[in-house]
Amino acid sequence: MEKYRFDEKGRFVIEDYNRLRPFASFLPGIAGKKGIPMWVFYVNRGQCVSSFGVQDKDHPIMEFNSAIRAYQTVRTLGFRTFIKLPDEGVTYEAFTPSEGRVKQRMYIGRNELEIEEINEELGLRISVLYYTLPGERIPALIRRVRIRNISDSPKKVELLDGMPMIIPYGVNDYVIKHMTTLIKAWMEVYNLDKKMPFFKLKSSTEDVPKVTELTEGTFYISLVKKGETSELVRPIVDPDIVFGTDSSLLSPENFIRKPLSELVREKQVTFNKIPSAFTPLETELMPGEEVKIHSVIGYVPHIALLEEYEKKFASEEYLEKKYLENSEIIEEIVEDIWTQTSSRLFDEYSKQCYLDNVLRGGYPLLLEEENPFVYYIYLRKHGDQERDYNYFVLVPEYYSTGNGNFRDVNQNRRENVFFHPEIRDYDVKFFMNLIQADGYNPLVINGVKYRMKAERMDFLKELVDNPEPLEEFLKEPFTPGRLMMFVEEKGIDLKVSEEEFLRRVLEHCEEEVDAVHGEGYWCDHWTYNLDLIESYLGVYPEKKRELLFEDYSYTYYDNAMVVLPRSKRYVLENGRVRQYNSLVEDKEKKALIESRKEYRHLMRRENGRGEIYRTNLITKLLNLAFIKFATLDPAGMGIEMEAGKPGWYDALNGLPGLFGSSVGEAAELVRLFEFLIDSLEEFPEIKLRIPVEVWELFEEEVRLVKEYKGREDEDRDHWLWDSLSELRERYRDRTKLGFDGKEVEVKARELLDGLKLLHDKLRAGLERAIEENNGIMPMYFYYEPVEYEVNEKGETRILKFEQKRMPLFLEGAVKQFKIFRNDKELLKEVYKKVKESDLYDKKLKMYKLNASLKDQPIEIGRARAFTPGWLENESIWLHMEYKYMLELIRSGLYEEFYEDFRNVIVAFLDPAVYGRSPLENTSFIVSSAYPDESLHGAGFYARLTGANAEFLSIWKNMFIGEKPFDTENGEFVLSFRPALPGWLFDEERKVSFNLFSRCRVTYHNPAKVDTWKLNLGKVRILLHLNDGRKVEVEGNKVKGELARAVRDGKVASIDVYFPAG
C-alpha cells in the first residue's frame, strides 16, 4: 500500500507514520462564534498530540514544547494506551514503533486528527480520534478511543488510557519548565469521587503579600461505551499507581505486575505531585465487538460550571453531535472558496489555504450593515511548535480573536474584500489609521474593543429587562464576546435576539484598536496598505472619490517610541561606523500619551494637546509618500533601514546596523507615487487640506530635487541624502508630539508637478540599479562609511559612503514585475534571466529566496549563519516564491506561469519528498543548496505562512482576474477574465467556483482551450437571480445594475459559456 493517500473523507493518510520524517502541525483552534477555542499541536510520533491548552502557552493542559522536544517527548508525556491481555500473558503499549504484523496510520483532516493501529498478531484494532469542543462556554479536547476485537476468539482486555501528566490550571510555561519541583506543592486534585477530577492550584503562587484562592481548573472526564451501556469512569490521577518506581514514565510497572482491579482500588494521592489522568477499563470483547472511550479534557473557570456539563459529557450522542458541529463550522468557512476543477487535490488545497489564511488574518463578521461594524474572529499570531519564538493568543471568550503582527494580518486580509464585499473599506481604514506621522506603525495588534459613546443608556431598556448591570459593564471598553458572556453569566434576559442585541449596542459605540509598539519599526510595513486599497478598488471602483477624498475620519497612531536623529544613532564600533540603537522611548511623549483619558494612542492637534487630528486617506498617503521619499539611501536607489529593523526578511537583522537599504521599498514608493498621481489627475479640481508640516516637507523635497538635478558633481547623491535626512529629522522633531493643526488648502492639480518630479527621481534610481545589476532589480544594498568626522560631543557625521552590493534576491524580481507590469516583453526577459540565475533551483524546479550569501560578511544578519538551503538562506521561501508566481499571472505571462505551476504549487508536490500533507503550506522548503540531500524538497514550519495570502491572490487571478470590477465610460462593469489552462476543466468540460463567497460561477469550455487564448468577446453569460429571473448577456462583461446585483449577493449563480475554439 502507498505510504501516502487520501481516504473517502478527503483526509490525508500516512502509513507507518512513526517511522517517517518527523513533522509538526495543529488543529485549527476554532470553536465557532459562541465557543471557546483550544490550541492543540501534534507531531507524527506516538499518539501525536504533543501539547494543548487554552489561551496561550502559559495556560497548558499538556506542556507546550518546541517541535524538536515534542518529537522526543510525545511518546512519554503525550497520550498513552497500555493494553494487557491476561489470558495471553501479553502487555503492550499501542502506537509505539512496532515490528511484525502491525499497521499504523495517521488521518489528517481539516478539523480533526485520527490515528489507527491494526495489530493482527494480537487481534486488535485501536483508533484514536481528536477534535475540539465547539459552541460551548468551556474549551475542551475530545478524544475518542475505539478498541475492536478483530480476531476469531473472545479477548479479555485490561486497559489504561490517558495522560501520564496533566497540568493543573495556574501553572505557566516558565514554571512548568523551570520550577516543577516547587510548584507541585500547590497542586491538588478535587472532585475525583464524582468521576470528574478537577485539577488546580490551591492558591496564587506569586511571592507577594496578597494571596488568593484559585477557582479555575483543568478537568478530565471519561465516558466508556460498550454496546448499549455507557458510564463515566473514575480516572487514576496518581501516576505512581500506574508507573510505580519508574519515574521516567517509560514503563507502567504496576500495571504490568498487578491486575487492573487491584490498581483501581488503591488509595490515590491527590496532592503534592504532578497528577496523571488515566481511564481504567476491564472488559471482554467478543469477535467483532468494540468498546469506546470518550475523554473530554479542558478548562473551566469554576467547578460549578463543570458540574453543569456532567450530563452532556456522559452522553455519546452529545459528543458525536459536537464532532459534526465542529466539521460544519470549518466547512462553512472554507465554502467561501469552494472550487471544482479536474483536480480534486487543487480544489481541497484551495480550501486549506483559505482556512489557514483565516487563522492568521481572521474571519470578518458584519455586526452592523448600514455603517459596517466589522469584527474579526479566529485570528492568532503564527506561533506553534516550529515557530516556538512567537507568542500566540486565542482569547478564551465568545467571538474569540487573538493577537497578530501588523504585516502578517494586513497581508492575510488582502483579498478579504473580494471574498466578503460587505466589509467595504474597513481593512483599508483599520491599517491606515495605524500609520504614524513618522511613517511607521505599531507592530502588535491585539484586536479591537468597543467604547460606549452615548452618555445615557436609555436604549438598553428596550433590549433587556434589567439594564443596571449592563450599564456598569459598558462603562469600560469591551469586546462582543466578553459582552455576550457577561449577559449569560449574570442571567440577563434579552427582549430581542442576540444578534439584534449586539447590533443595537454597537450602534452606540466607537471602535478602539488595541495595538502596541512591540519590537521595533520594520521598513516595509507601510507597503502592504496599497495592496489593500487596490483590492478594495477592484471591488468598489466607483467609490474611489469617496474613499480617497470625502471620508475625513482617518487618524494617526501616536507612539512614544521615536527614531533618533543620526547624531544619536551612529556609533564607532571596532574602528568602523555603525548604526545601532535607532529607537528610544521619548519620556515627554510617553507622559503626554498616558495623560489622556481615552483614545490615548490617537495623535492630537496643538502639538498633542488639542483634539484628535482627523484627515482623509489621500492626505495620509501623501504624508506617507513624502516621509518615505525623505528616507532615500545615499545612492538614491533604496529606502534606508534607519529604524533598526529590515523588512519582512528578519534574518537580515544586521543590515540596519550596516546602513542597509531596501530597493524593493523604493519600488513600492514608485507604485505609491503613481497611484497618487493617477488619482489626483482623475480628480484635479478637488480641494485638499494638508497639514502645514507635511506641505512644507513636500515643498522642500521638491526644491532639493530641483537643485540636485542642476548639479553634476560626483557628490550630488550624498548631498541629496544628507539634505533629505536633515529635512526628515526636522520634520519629525516638529511633529513628534502631534501636528500644529494648521492646514494648507490646495487643489489636487497643484501637487502634480512636484509629485511627478519626485516620482521621476525615484524611478531613475531604480532603473540605474537594474542596469548595474544585469537587468534584474537588486533587493538590498548596504553602505560602508569611508569618510567621516567626530565632533567634540562624540557625534559622528558621515562624509562619504561606499555602496556594497548583495547577491540576487527573488523579491527584487517580484518588485520589478510590479513596477513594469505593462511591459510584457521586458518581463519575459526578466523571467528568462531569473531562470538562468542562481535563484532557480534546477533540481527542484523551484525558485530560491536568494542566491548564495557565502561572500557576505556575518554582520548582515543571522541569514548568513544559517546553513544554505535552510530557513532564510537559499531555501524555497514559499510566500516569496508564490509572490513571484502571482506577478507572473498578474502580468499576463500565462505560459510561463503554468510552465512552473505544477512544480511550484504545494498541492502537486510528492508527499514522500515534501514530508507532509500536500494540502498544507509550509514557510519554507529545503532547497538543493542544503548539504544533506535527504531533505531536499522537504517542507518545514507548518501552515501559518504568507503563502496562503499569495495563493488566494493567485486563485483570484486564475478564476476571474486581478480587478473584477471597473468603470468604463462611467458605467459599472464586472468582467470575467479567467486564466485557466484547458487541463483544469473536468470531464464535463467545466470549472466551477464561488464568487464573492456566495455566487456559484460555472465556466463551460467545450474545447478545453486555455482561456487566455479564447476570444472573450464571443462569450455568453447566463445569470440566475435570487428572485428566479434569468438574464443573458453577450460578451464577458456584465454591466450596470446587473453587475451591482452580483456584488450585492442578489445573483445565485452564473453560467459562462466560452466559444468552441
Q: What is the pLDDT of residues 150-193, one digit of tens each?
A: 999 999 999 999 999 999 999 999 999 999 999 999 999 999 99
Angle between helices 878-890 and 947-959 (to 10 degrees): 20
DSSP state letter for 600: T
Question: Which pLDDT score, from 0 to 100, does residue 373 have?
Answer: 82
Question: Which pLDDT score, from 0 to 100, does residue 208 have?
Answer: 93
Question: Which pLDDT score, from 0 to 100, does residue 1009 have?
Answer: 97
425 has pLDDT over 90: yes
Quick one: fold of 4-332? Beta-galactosidase; Chain A, domain 5 (2.70.98)
In the chain, where the domains are located? 4-332, 960-1057
Pick from 400, 398, 427, 433: nearest CA to 412 = 427
Question: Which pLDDT score, from 0 to 100, does residue 456 have?
Answer: 84
Question: Which pLDDT score, from 0 to 100, does residue 476 have?
Answer: 92
Question: Which pLDDT score, from 0 to 100, does residue 813 have?
Answer: 98
1023 has pLDDT over 70: yes
CA-only gyration radius of the chain, Å: 31
Band of the pLDDT at 816, cuts 50, 70, 90? very high
Q: Cβ(385)–Cβ(65) under 8 Å?
A: yes
Question: Which pLDDT score, from 0 to 100, does residue 327 have?
Answer: 97
Count CA within 13 A, CB hemisphere, residue 160: 31
- What confidence tens digit (pLDDT) does each residue in 455-505 have? 789 999 999 988 999 999 999 999 999 999 999 999 999 999 999 999 999
Average pLDDT estimate for 544-570: 97
Question: Which pLDDT score, from 0 to 100, does residue 1 have?
Answer: 55
Please calculate the CA angle 821-826-831 and round it to the nearest 5 degrees. Answer: 90
Cα end-to-end span (Å), the chain: 42
Question: Which pLDDT score, from 0 to 100, does residue 365 have?
Answer: 94
847 has pLDDT over 90: yes
308 has pLDDT over 80: yes
Q: Cβ(274)–Cβ(165) under 8 Å?
A: yes
pTM: predicted TM-score of the whole model, two decimal places: 0.97
Question: Which pLDDT score, from 0 to 100, does residue 455 have?
Answer: 77
- Distance from C-alpha of 538 to C-alpha of 976, rounded to nearest angstrom: 13
Q: Cβ(1024)–Cβ(1052) under 8 Å?
A: yes
- Distance from C-alpha of 274 to C-alpha of 270, rounded to nearest angstrom: 9
139 has pLDDT over 80: yes
370 has pLDDT over 90: no
Residue 236 bridge partners (DSSP) = 278
Percent of the chain with pLDDT over 70: 100
